[in-house]
Amino acid sequence: MGNPWRGDVVLVVDGQSHVMRLTLGALAELETGLASGSLVDLVQRFESGGFSTRDVLALIVAGLRGGGWTGRASDLLSSEIDGGPMAAARAAAALLARAFMLPESRDGGV
């Protein structure tokens, strides 16, 4: 179980629960790997609903790595995420929101 106060989001991949977290290192890796723009641009794409599947995958990988996972994006290409692509997109959005949310405004819900 993840700790939402720390920014954790839990994602089930191939039947195994993983805690995702956007640490400073994970954020730096994410920003380096973005196809276009900065983290601010990424946040704006999610807020406007204009994000891509590439954005979702990049966030999921960064979050998993921030949570201690040592895999690569290619490891997820044939993986099954509980809830499918929409659940992955919701988890990515929650992960991004929690990373930039002030501690006093975190309510723990996804």
Average pLDDT over residues 36-51: 84
Average pLDDT over residues 47-61: 90
21, 6 Cβ separation under 8 angstroms? yes
pTM of this structure:
0.84
Residues with Cβ within 8 Å of residue 54, at least 6 apart in sequence: 35
Average pLDDT over residues 77-98: 92
pLDDT in tens, 20-34: 999 988 888 888 887
> pLDDT at position 79, please?
93
What is the rounded distance in angstroms from the CA atom of residue 95 to the CA atom of residue 64?
10
- Measured in Å, how far apart are the chain's first and last C-alpha atoms? 13
> pLDDT at position 107, please?
54
8 three-class SS: coil
> pLDDT at position 102, please?
66
Beta bridge partners of 11: 18
What tokens does 19 get?
């805690």
Residue 46 — pLDDT band, cuts 50, 70, 90? confident
